[in-house]
Amino acid sequence: MPSHITVRPYRAEDRAAVRQICHFTGYMGDPISWQWRDRESFADTFSSYYTDREPESSLVAELDGRVVGYLLGCRNTAVVGDPLRPLYGQLVSRGLLWRTGTAGFLWRSARDGLVELAARRPLLREPTDPAHPAHLHINLLPEARGAGVGRRLVSQWFATLVDEGIPGCHLGTWAENHHAIAFFRSVGFGAMGPPTNMPGMRSPSGARHHVLWMATDLPANAPP
């Protein structure tokens, strides 16, 4: 167990470390390179909004001067727009649709989307419930786990939201990641509904994965 981990606000020089952790922990805390090998496009899709457009809402965990985890936050999900936007321009410009180790995931995602449309099932979309406008993503390297770091990151993020009068926060987690769900329940999150199909993602055995949306209400900040 690490002896001392500092939780602090994100700084611009943390960007490379955040992107590396994002990819290294992208499959339920484990590396996702076995099905999405291209690190840059993965990190752009899942971290660039937070590091580049809303860095003031992010926190990092630091051990001996090295970033070992993060909480990427957003105060108002409605302003984010399409989270896949960073990916679109790279499909052709960087040849992702033909790139070994990544193209298969992208084509499978497109196929999954068509299947959902044909079955008249809703496509995966981030909730924009005004009761829970904020959201977060959290990931830790193995050496930062089991020491209460995740709880500290969430607690500090909640304190910021409460100070600003933001009424609630939501997140999406893998429905198959029972450890993550148990953690989020322990810090106050509850399921918003049944799991939703996650396009493209598969288990090593080929089974489909799903997203579970969770949310928590935050206490109103009492006037002074």
Give 175-202 pLDDT, tens digit per residue.
Answer: 999 999 999 999 999 999 999 999 999 9
Query: Are residues 59 and 71 in contact, defined by beta-carbon separation less than 8 angstroms?
Result: yes
The one-letter amino acid at 118:
A
User: Is it the case that residue 3 has pLDDT exceeding 80?
Assistant: no
What distance in Å separates the CA atoms of residue 44 and residue 140, rounded to the nearest whole number?
A: 18
Residue 26 CA neighbour count, 13 Å, CB half: 25
- What domains does the chain contain, in order, with CATH numbers? 6-217 (3.40.630.30)
- Check: pTM over 0.95? Answer yes or no: no
User: Is it the case that residue 87 has pLDDT exceeding 80?
Assistant: yes
What's the pLDDT tens digit per position in 96-150?
Answer: 999 999 999 999 999 999 998 888 777 778 888 899 999 999 999 999 999 999 9
What's the pLDDT tens digit per position in 18-74?
Answer: 999 999 999 999 999 999 999 999 999 999 999 999 999 999 999 999 999 999 999
Per-residue b or e along 104-128, where b marks 16 or more CB atoms closer than 10 Å to that residue's CB: ebbeebeebeeebeeeeeeebebbe
User: Is it the case that residue 222 has pLDDT exceeding 60?
Assistant: no
CA 10 to chain centre: 16
What is the predicted pLDDT for the residue at 1?
46
- Beta-ladder partners of 173: 212
User: Is it the case that residue 14 has pLDDT exceeding 50?
Assistant: yes
Mean pLDDT for the stretch of residues 3-29: 96
DSSP class of residue 50 equals: I
What is the predicted pLDDT for the residue at 224?
45
**Helix, strand, coil: what percent of the chain each, to 5?**
40, 25, 35
Q: What is the pLDDT confidence band of residue 220, given thresholds at 50, 70 and 90?
A: confident
What distance in Å separates the CA atoms of residue 162 and residue 99, rounded to the nearest whole number?
A: 44
What is the predicted pLDDT for the residue at 221?
62
How crowded is residue 19: how many other Cβ atoms within 10 Å of its Cβ? 19
What is the predicted pLDDT for the residue at 40?
95
What tokens were used for 9?
A: 């606000």
What is the predicted pLDDT for the residue at 124?
72
